[in-house]
Structure 1
Amino acid sequence: MEPSGSTSSNHTLNSTGGGCPWEISDKDRLCRFLCYGSEGDVYTAREEGRVSLENAGALLSLLQEGRGSEVVEEIKRFSQDGRAVRLSTSIFALALCSQHSELKTRQAAFKALKEICRDPAHLFSFIQYKKELKEGMNCGIWGRALRKALSDWYNEQDAMSLAAAVTKCKQRGGWSHQDLLRLSHTKPARDAIALISKYVTKGWKEVQVACADKENSEEVVKVLSYLEVVEKVKHSCDETEVINLIEEHKLEREQLLTDHLKSKQVWRALLKEMPLHSVLKILGKMTSNKILESGSSETQIICDRIQSESALKKAKIHPFSILLASENYKRGQGYQGKTKWEPDSSILKAMDSAFYRSFTNLEPVGKRFVVAVDVSTSLSSVVPGTAISTAVAAAAIAMIFARTEADVHVLAFSEGTVVPCSLSAHMTLAEATAELVKIPSGSTDCTLPITWASDKGKSVDVFIILTNNPLWTFTAGPVESLKKHRQTSGANSKLVMCGLTSIGHAIADTEDRGLLSISGFDLGAFSVIRNLAQDLI
């Protein structure tokens, strides 16, 4: 029998009493939903399923209990603190709260709108979710509260930021700024917002007429000048002029015409200021189109940016993101198979350097970890949806925890054998991979890392078990071993089972807040593990 404890987010295990401190509450289910879009204990990497009411049972229960304001606060926390793997679930949850029958819940949701929906794409998504929820919740959309919330969203923006936003993201999912400004009856709060509103709803010519021969404020003059540049580039066929406008005004590709993007020189100009995340995604395409050629000055500039510690820090790029991009680039072709390229050695070298330099971006969780790699099956297969072998993925995951956390044991295990692995800070990814796969293979027994910790008298907060076994045919249940470890060590131990090639297996039928399965692996999996370790889901 497990010791008694609270069902709140901070469990306290002691040596007496009965009961279950690991019971899953509606609040826990809500937090899981906000984190990865499911109330269950399985996170499926790279799955971008449409969020729906069927997935949000706990959210609805909490609303019916009159805990709407608490729900909205949780939505804000998950969307703003980087806890959510996908922001779409937070936006859906906010839309649901905004249509709830209780006035306080609706007010809290609309008040939080501009904090959660920070750019137009989020705002359009929010409105679309409201439209989809309309029938199921038997309510209207365009009431006074929504109209005011949308008016506030536009009116409280910095004018130059809003001008850039409405010209980069004009419409999404069937909604446009023109629709929202018209349906919300927005009354602009100041001249610069009025100018942008007129531009969106009436067009550039109307703006020119309205502002001609007028004494305009400094803010209006700046917005006018910016919109003039956007209009100028839209009507320009002169490659040199387009390039100059891009470089002078930091224009982005969403503000250009499709014809402009046929020019290599235009792409080279765009690359100079393009966010690093975006650069990493299109390296293959840029190499394929000969925009980045071997030995060229553009390629050197990109290589310098990729491995610049200040650029990596500013973009907050995670080492695993770089690894995903690097392995995909090394592959030499896109996932659809149409775009092919010859990987450039200097770009590969820069990405390798960036991988190690980006470790400084990571913040420790501050928990005691065991990262155990199952080497009983071949680790030569590929993690679904990526170009990374399971061996390299396992080594990278182990390295990330070993280099970031103060208390980590990395183990390789297989059929009765557990081998502690030393992953030093100076070790390369190739050396770490070799260190992990050096013991002979056998059958999978995922209890081994837990019993190893218990036998060694080590208290562990989180066990992360990485396996390539698609069937997960365990000789003994890891859940029972985990419960024993909790009792003997007094630790609030949790278990994360990562099936690197899995498509959706759970560890066990038992419900326990400390158990989580991850199918496949992606960047979001790190957020899920972090949230679990910190008692946030």
Structure 2
Amino acid sequence: MEGLSNIDAWKYCLRKYLCLGTFEGLLISNNTSIDLEKCIDSLIVAECGCEVVEILLKFRRENRTPKRDAILFALATCCRCCHLETKKKAYNALPDICQNPADLFQFLSFYRSLGVGSGWGRAHRRAVAEWYLGYEKQDGQKKKEDEMKKMVYHFFKYQSRHGWSHKDVFRLCHFKKENLDEKVMVKYMVLVFTSPKNGRARGKEWLNEVKKSTPEEKFDELKNLVEEYSKAQKSKSMTVIIDLIDKYDIPREVVPSEMLNYKNVWKALLRQMPFTALIRNLGKMSNLGVFERGSFEENLTIQKLTNPESIQNSKVHPFTLLVALTQYRKGRGELGSLIWAVNPYISQALEDAFYLSFKSISTVKKKSYLIAVDLNGAMNAPVIGSPTVSALDAAAALAMATVRCGDQCSVVAFSSKEGTPLQGVDLGETDSLPDVLEKFTVISPGKVDCSRLLKEATEAKNGGSSVLPETSFNVFVVYTGFKTDFSKDAADLLHDCYRIYDSSSFESV
């Protein structure tokens, strides 16, 4: 990050943490260890806190992070800060960043870990209360019905996460009576999760108020839906569970654990299973024999996995699909003793889904990319966030994605072949992931020499490179498992690149 101002350097670190999707570990820059909290605090002190929140919103909306841990941790840090404008903007962003109770519970867990006391301030209570009240905000009968189903689905699917439950949150956020009176559906759900069986006097009083302020038909529909979900939680009958799943789209999290050992229960769940839940449970369903050859379940799963619209609507990150693909092909889970027979048709559909997810990647348009890949042993280590995917797998996938999405892209590998420290890798737009990995594995790994890379790039502009085509590169990307120390020669070459190329369109990663 040499040549950058302190503020630009902190923003660079923030984006890097968000791209990795983790809030743990340290980034090393100029021999300085930087953690995410220190990075955000420094930006807030520099009066860039509001810009931090804008960056978080941009990453969340564009689905640019494989995990939400870093975004939620960063948001909690902004909400804990003393800069009033930053805090206000962070709380206003809560509904956009926390899109379901699981996100909210993780945010609250981070918020608690960053503070000294266990109490909540007024701004925090109000923001969390408004998050729940936001479930009931649309006008129109049809939208009200959709809101009701979504609310009940979310409340039961995500009953507790990260040491928090709905009951804990309701106890601390102190809903105002006038706000709940306007949101009768939310008021009823608060009653359900704080006064089981309406056993307390306050619960009975609230129930009567909800009945009076809600049309009888609407109240009966909401009450019936909640009762059926509660019934599914306690049922010991496979027939009853399957019937409830078919009628009310009961999610897997509501089904009792012992019922999840029956193949027919999973067949029922599969019909309405969301995309991300599907890729998480492929191993379990394969273990139980759900995907029999030529069966309806196998065909339905292949159809879901290869549906571009489903992939786009689910906002699944390509890295998430890469992890799911690598894990499924292993035929066993990383934790526990679950094993399964890999279905080749499901495996291929999952690989196709990985390629289809590239459409969500935003590249720097009208740029010419030069990608260099390190092939040394350090690249066999797992990447942050997944013990399944190696650094080389991730680098190959990223190079392939850039080739498919970028305007112009050349890929090289650092080689130990005498006289050729860089070796070109011919990646086509139709190459599969196994094809790309095969092209890398046949090359003998060599030293990561950034000086040689920049020299070849400089010579390529005039057609003098023996490795690269005659072109002007705007973006340089190096995937390596080592810290890249630039020598004075490399620094001079980088300066030459800025001088030779249009510096306004020049980028290095």
TM-score with structure 2 length normalisation? Answer: 0.79
1:259-274 correspondence runs (5 A): 259-274=258-273
Q: Does 1:147 align with 2:138?
A: no
SS at match of 2:337: coil
Q: Does 1:490 align with 2:488?
A: no
Question: Residues 387 and 69 of structure 1: is their aligned pair in 2 closer, same or farther, counting only changes over 3 Å?
Answer: closer
Which residue of structure 2 aligns with residue 32 of structure 1?
Answer: 13
Which residue of structure 2 aligns with residue 174 of structure 1?
Answer: 163
Q: Does 1:451 align with 2:455?
A: yes
Among candidates 435, 457, 463, match of residue 476 of structure 2: 463
Distance 1:182 1:370 in 2: 55
CA RMSD of aligned residues (A): 3.6
Q: Which residue type is aligned with residue 24 of structure 2?
A: G
Distance 2:42 2:485 in 1: 36
Please, which moves more after superposition, 71-80 or 213-222?
213-222
Which residue of structure 1 aligns with residue 139 of structure 2?
Answer: none
Q: Which residue type is aligned with residue 142 of structure 1?
A: W
Q: Which residue type is aligned with residue 465 of structure 1?
A: V
Which residue of structure 2 aligns with residue 405 of structure 1?
Answer: 406
Which residue of structure 2 aligns with residue 372 of structure 1?
Answer: 372
Question: Residues 308 and 112 of structure 1: is their aligned pair in 2 closer, same or farther, counting only changes over 3 Å?
Answer: closer
Question: Residues 341 and 50 of structure 1: is their aligned pair in 2 closer, same or farther, counting only changes over 3 Å?
Answer: same
Which residue of structure 1 aligns with residue 311 of structure 2?
Answer: 312
Q: Deviation of residue 337 (structure 1)? A: 6.1
Q: Deviation of residue 288 (structure 1)? A: 2.0
Question: Residues 477 and 393 of structure 1: is their aligned pair in 2 closer, same or farther, counting only changes over 3 Å?
Answer: farther
Question: Residues 337 and 484 of structure 1: is their aligned pair in 2 closer, same or farther, counting only changes over 3 Å?
Answer: farther
Matched-pair contact (CA < 8 Å) for 2:66–2:317: no
The structure in which a higher percent of residues are helix is 2
Distance 1:258 1:467 in 2: 43
Matched-pair contact (CA < 8 Å) for 1:134–1:141: no
SS at match of 1:259: helix
Which residue of structure 1 aligns with residue 29 of structure 2?
Answer: none
Matched-pair contact (CA < 8 Å) for 2:102–2:158: yes
Matched-pair contact (CA < 8 Å) for 1:379–1:389: no
TM-score with structure 1 length normalisation? Answer: 0.75
Among candidates 425, 428, 436, match of residue 429 of structure 2: 425
Q: Does 1:196 align with 2:189?
A: yes
Distance 1:27 1:432 in 2: 35
Question: Residues 356 and 157 of structure 1: is their aligned pair in 2 closer, same or farther, counting only changes over 3 Å?
Answer: closer
Gaps of 5+ in 2: 27-33, 137-146, 462-470
Which residue of structure 2 aligns with residue 162 of structure 1?
Answer: 151
SS at match of 1:372: strand
Question: Residues 95 and 382 of structure 1: is their aligned pair in 2 closer, same or farther, counting only changes over 3 Å?
Answer: closer
Distance 2:459 2:151 in 1: 60
Please, which moves more after superposition, 459-468 or 174-183?
459-468
Q: Which residue type is aligned with residue 446 of structure 1?
A: C
Q: Does 1:49 align with 2:24?
A: yes
Question: Residues 251 and 35 of structure 1: is their aligned pair in 2 closer, same or farther, counting only changes over 3 Å?
Answer: farther
Question: Residues 27 and 262 of structure 1: is their aligned pair in 2 closer, same or farther, counting only changes over 3 Å?
Answer: same
Question: Residues 480 and 116 of structure 1: is their aligned pair in 2 closer, same or farther, counting only changes over 3 Å?
Answer: same
Which residue of structure 2 aligns with residue 340 of structure 1?
Answer: 339
Q: Which residue type is aligned with residue 201 of structure 1?
A: T
Distance 2:304 2:195 in 1: 41
Which residue of structure 1 aligns with residue 79 of structure 2?
Answer: 98
Distance 1:363 1:71 in 2: 20
Q: Deviations over 1:209-251 (max 9, x none)?
A: 9359757325534422321211221232221221121122111
Q: Which residue type is aligned with residue 426 of structure 2?
A: S
Q: Which residue type is aligned with residue 490 of structure 1?
A: D
SS at match of 2:284: helix
Matched-pair contact (CA < 8 Å) for 1:450–1:482: yes
SS at match of 2:115: helix
Q: Which residue type is aligned with residue 488 of structure 1?
A: I
Q: Which residue type is aligned with residue 42 of structure 2?
A: S
Question: Residues 337 and 193 of structure 1: is their aligned pair in 2 closer, same or farther, counting only changes over 3 Å?
Answer: closer
Question: Residues 494 and 173 of structure 1: is their aligned pair in 2 closer, same or farther, counting only changes over 3 Å?
Answer: same
Q: Does 1:63 align with 2:44?
A: yes
Among candidates 111, 114, 118, match of residue 130 of structure 1: 111
Distance 2:499 2:380 in 1: 37
Q: Which residue type is aligned with residue 345 of structure 1?
A: P
Which residue of structure 2 aligns with residue 252 of structure 1?
Answer: 251
Distance 2:370 2:8 in 1: 28
Distance 1:390 1:60 in 2: 30
Q: Deviation of residue 399 (structure 1)? A: 1.9
Distance 1:140 1:388 in 2: 38
Distance 2:119 2:274 in 1: 36
Gaps of 5+ in 1: 1-6, 8-19, 38-42, 497-537
Question: Residues 48 and 256 of structure 1: is their aligned pair in 2 closer, same or farther, counting only changes over 3 Å?
Answer: farther
Distance 1:422 1:311 in 2: 32
SS at match of 1:447: helix
Matched-pair contact (CA < 8 Å) for 1:370–1:409: yes
More contact order relative to length (CA 8 Å, sep ≥ 6): 1
Question: Residues 79 and 330 of structure 1: is their aligned pair in 2 closer, same or farther, counting only changes over 3 Å?
Answer: closer
Which residue of structure 1 aligns with residue 214 of structure 2?
Answer: 216
Q: Deviation of residue 73 (structure 1)? A: 3.5
Distance 2:356 2:66 in 1: 24
